[in-house]
Structure 1
Amino acid sequence: MTHDGHHGIGLTQGTALYVAAVLGTGILLLPALAARAAGPGAIIAVGALAVISIPLASTFAALSTRYPDAGGVATFARRAFGPSAARVVSYWFYFGTPIGAPIAAIMTAQYVVAIVGGGRGTVIAIAAGLIVVPVAVTVFGVRFAGWVQLVLSAALMAILVLALAAAAPHTDPQNFTPVLPNGPAGVGGAISLYVWAFAGWEAVAGIAGEFARPRRDIPRATTLALVIVAIAYIAIQTVVVGVLGPRVGTTQAPLLDLVTIGLGPGWGLVVACVAVIVVVGVFNAYFAAFSKLGAAMGRDGDLPAWFGHGAERGGIARRGLLLSAAVMAVYFAIVAWIPDLQPVILVHTSIAAAIYGMGVASALVLLPRRSLGWWMSLLSCVLVLGLLVLAGANLVYPAIVAAAAIAAGAVAKVRRQRARDDRARRSPTRAA
């Protein structure tokens, strides 16, 4: 079933989904992790990622505007490099990035438990619930998720402004020196962590086909989301460094500490609300993208055709959502028992960097040469190469997923050839 343009998502819904996908759950823990890695240099890392995100966001906006499709980056790769590249990207996103779902849910659950009390079992139970609710929302389609996200994003911004404004007066200028306690390497480490925060443009490419007026609203939504996310992260990182200082090395819930310092211990519930809003919001955006990509993979032959239902604009891709939920359940069972999330975060960001690499390379082929989008994609290639270098040994995981995708493609090709041979053998018999 398809719908006309009036039934697509608009600028406000699209911006809300973009903000959710990019802002993400990083605000819950990353400011503390980055400050441990780089001290005040973490603020430089955030600024650097914000600058890097400009050409990246512009590149994906240009591609999404020209090729709004449920396949997202896989569609771009297919047009630029063929079906094998598309299959690899699809596998990276559909079977690789879901590892971020349990990480995000457990981060959030840790915040909630720090406030309401409980042990590891409570964390796991809350985390599981936080995944189930957005899955239920996405069952009703991307447009419904967009309206839900609009409300969630507005509430999140209001609460963040309150928390930061209350904590900022407690800033100690001495906490900003030395600027680079761990040298440039510390800033590089913080940048690698913050890729988690600024990843998301590759996800929202998959919902570009749901915009009622993609050529007008995708560039606008991208610009608004980029500005909002950059301001939010720079503000959060600056206040975390300035207020917490050396204490950032021991905190597990930096926003909770800021709210406690600024407003008192009775305001911990505010942080719990922030945590829940953030994770439900980011899952709304990502699950919508997962469901549409699963349908596109079924349509394009990268998954069984049964999953292709709902790939069209306005369609509700419940079958794609079902499979992505199953993938997340497997990852959840694994990640739930890993005590230190940082290595898993780096695995996730390496997959994001690999997807970005394929996306910006596709842009160089697809966008008109020497256009603004083409120049942005050229700059993005240089920046993404830097991210891939920073990812280092963590690129082993996307390499394994890519090998699985290529192997699956080879098996599918053999099966198709056998089916054609069988038809050819039967055909003369029928003719006789």
Structure 2
Amino acid sequence: MTATPQSASASGDGPGAQPGTAPAPGPAAAPPTRMAGHLRLPGAVALAITIVVGSGALVSPGVAFQQTGSAALYAWLIAAAVTVPLLVVFARLGAELPNAGGVAGFVQEGFGRSWAAGVEVMLLGTFSLGIPGIALTGGYYFQQIPGLGAVPAWLAGIVLLAMAGAVVAIGGAVSSRIQLVLALLMTAGLVAAALVGLSGGAPADHLPPAELGSLATGVTALGAVFFAFTGWEMLSFTTEEYANPRRDFPRVVVISFVVVTTLYVLLAWAVQTRLEEGDPAAASAPIHAVVAAAAPGLAWVVSVLGVVIIAANLVGAVWAASRLVMSSAREGLLPKPLARLSTAKGTPPRRAVAVCVAFFAAVALCTATEVVSLADLLTVAGGNFFLLYLFAAVVYARLRTGARRYAGAAVALTLALLSLTFGAAQLVYAAVLLAAGFLLSRRAA
């Protein structure tokens, strides 16, 4: 068959070509500028659950119970109801504006680059406290495993951070499968712990009274349990990796919310079924105490489960933080090499993950010298994460029209009023970070 000029050229047999030689290589493919969309519904739901369910599930049920007794169950139901409009905002923005910058990307769409840079710096300051705090919580649970009590919590926390970084560095596709396994393990483990606590303990006798006074008492524990409902704001940093963000992100938010809320209510019910209000274990390790009261021989399993939960939580947190670092570098706020993606897979470079893990480990190490405490890390980070909901609501109101704009403004106003209850130091820290990022962006421009 006689070759056409096109096929001859393609095979290297055209005019001027040497027999047996390969065609001259064309221009190299440019590295991708956005991450590959690999996250589908099961993996994305698993990632959401492991990001949200963490130390809050392990501690908050006991703290709320100590504060309000059996009325604590109302606090969890009210917190879930309060979270719904916030998640509607996140679900819609994440579906419409998928990006690795998360809330900062939303702000950039609504208010421009300078304000987004301010949010990025605030987020970097928040992750730098919250993620080491999560790691240290895992370190304390690590110490509860028989035979490991002598291991310093800060060292165990750093090891957990390193392991989380290794999982994230493997690549998003593999990481999502690992998270799916971890999500199944932790969900099954927590449900089992709750059912063990409820079995044989007359749980119906420990429901809160159906009266207005008990409901009002439950509201007073809202602050103690709301931290357990944070985490979906971190999920927004993964939307660029969704295969179909417009369809799947809202579904992920809804499914994970139902699973997480069910877990929390079961755990809270088990705590107030098995423990006494004055039990000191309720404030430190309530789930461990619940299982120990119902099945003493299984108490050590809760310690192992706690480490698994924190490890899964850390993978999701490091995943989100590395995406923020990559996005900030892409926008010029951080060094450009941190934004360079793999040509083959379109995943963040391992150096971005390594920088995150190294910095978080350094902060965790500071707790060994008592420069900062675990309570300080979690308190400040928790307040800043709350402010992220406020920023998202403001953006939502700005980008919407009509009734949706008014609804977004109402949510934003409510969150702004609640943020005034934070301590002055908390608000100053957030404001300084926000201003620093804003000014750095203006100067660079």
Q: Give the TM-score of the pair, scaled to structure 1.
A: 0.85
Residue 398 (structure 1) aligned with residue 430 (structure 2): yes
Aligned to 1:233: 264
How far is the alpha carbon of 1:317 from its aligned partner? 3.7
State whether structure 2 residue 112 is matched by structure 1 residue 82.
Answer: yes
Residue matched to 1:253: 285
Corresponding residue number in structure 2 for 1:357: 390
Between 1:374-383 and 1:193-202, the stretch displaced more is: 374-383
Q: AA paired with 1:408? A: L
What whole-Å deviation, never above 9, does each CA across 1:7-35 have from its counterpart, x for those lacking one?
51100000111111122221111212222
Q: Which residue of 2 aligns with 1:223?
A: 254
Q: How much does 1:101 deviate?
A: 1.8
Offset at residue 395 of structure 1 (A): 2.1
Query: Does 1:198 find its partner at 2:198?
Result: no
User: Within 2, Cα distance between the matches of 1:116 and 1:56?
Assistant: 41
Query: Do the aligned residues in 2 keep the contact of 1:171 with 1:239 (CA within 8 Å)?
Result: no
Question: Does 2:424 match 1:388?
Answer: no
Farther-moved stretch of structure 1 (34-43 vs 60-69):
34-43
SS in 2 for 1:115: coil
Q: What per-residue deviation string (whole Å, max 9, x for no partner) do you get for residues 189-213 of structure 1?
A: x322323211112111110011111
Cα distance change, pair 182–162 in 1 and its aligned pair in 2 (3 A): closer
Partner amino acid, structure 1, of 2:66: R
Shift in Å, 1:282: 1.3
1:55 aligns with 2:88: no
The partner residue of 2:331 within 297, 300, 304 is 300
Among candidates 137, 151, 154, match of residue 107 of structure 1: 137
| Distance in structure 2 (CA, Å) of the matches to 1:118 and 1:160 | 22
1:272 is matched with: 303
Candidates 143, 147, 154, aligned match of 2:184: 154
Q: Is the 8 A contact 2:114 2:441 kept in 1?
A: yes
Q: CA deviation at 1:37?
A: 2.9
Residue pair 1:52, 1:383 contacting (<8 A) in 2 also: no
Question: 2 CA distance for matches of 1:92 and 1:311?
Answer: 27
Alpha-carbon spacing, 1:175–1:165, altered in 2? closer, same or farther (3 Å): closer
Structure 2 contact 139–153 (Cα < 8 Å) conserved: yes
One-letter amino acid of the counterpart of residue 332, structure 2: G
Of residues 28, 31, 44 in structure 1, which corresponds to 2:74? 44
Match of 1:143 among 173, 181, 192: 173
- Distance across 1 between alignment mates of 2:33 and 2:339: 17
- Indicate the larger mover: 351-360 or 389-398: 389-398
The alpha carbon displacement at 1:161 in A equals 1.7
Q: Of 34, 37, 43, which aligns to 1:13?
A: 43
From the superposition, tell whether residues 120 and 74 of structure 1 become closer, same or farther in structure 2 (CA, over 3 Å).
Answer: farther
Higher mean C-alpha deviation, range 304-313 or range 291-300: 304-313
1:5, distance to aligned residue in structure 2 (A):
10
2:9 is matched with: none
1:320 aligns with 2:364: no
Change beyond 3 A, Cα 1:202–1:5? closer
Which residue in 2 is equivalent to 1:329? 361
Kindly name which structure, 1 or 2, has the bigger radius of gyration based on alpha carbons. 2
Tell me the alpha carbon deviations over residues 161-194 of structure 1, each in whole angstroms, 9 at most, x when there is no partner. 2111111132577766799999958844x32232
Segments of structure 1 that go 5 or more residues without pairing to the other structure are: 414-432
Report the CA distance between 1:138 and its aligned residue: 0.6
Q: Deviations over 1:107-150 (max 9, x none)?
A: 22222322325557532222221111011111122222211110
Identity of aligned residues (%): 26
Residue 323 of structure 2 corresponds to residue 283 of structure 1:
no
Question: Alignment partner of 1:298: what SS?
Answer: helix
Is 1:309–2:343 an aligned residue pair?
no
CA drift of 1:389 comes to: 3.0
| Change in CA separation of 1:398 and 1:40 when aligned onto 2, cut-off 3 Å | farther
Query: How many residue pairs align between the two structures?
Result: 409
- Map of 2:10 onto structure 1: none
Q: Secondary structure at the match of 2:130?
A: helix
Change (3 A) 1:4 1:98: closer
Structure 1 contact 361–377 (Cα < 8 Å) conserved = yes
Report which of the two has the higher share of helix: 1
- Kept in 2, the 8 Å contact 1:15–1:225? The answer is yes
SS of equivalent to 1:292:
helix
1:130 to 1:146, Cα distance in 2 relative to 1, 3 A: same
Question: Per-residue displacement from partner, 1:319-363 (whole Å, max 9, x unpaired)?
Answer: 332332233123212344559644432211110111111111111
Please list, as runs of the form range in 1=range in 2, the aligned pairs for 1:93-132 lying within 5 A after superposition.
93-116=123-146, 121-132=151-162
Whether the 8 Å CA contact 1:56–1:376 is kept in 2: the answer is no
Distance 2:270 2:333 in 1: 46
> For the residues of structure 1 that align with 2:204 and 2:293, how far apart are their CA atoms?
16
Residue segments in structure 2 that go unaligned for 5+ positions in a row:
1-30
Q: Does the 8 Å contact 2:139/2:154 carry over to 1?
A: yes
Q: How far apart are 1:411 and its partner, in Å?
A: 4.5
What is the identity, as a one-letter code, of the residue corresponding to 2:436? A
CA distance 1:342–1:181, shift in 2 (3 Å): farther
1:40 aligned counterpart, secondary structure:
helix
Match of 1:344 among 377, 396, 400: 377
- Contact kept? 2:393, 2:409, Cα under 8 Å: yes
Matching residue's letter, 2:140 = Q
CA contact (8 A) 2:33 2:341 kept: no
Give the whole-Å Cα distance in 2 for the aligned partners of 1:353 and 1:63.
Answer: 17
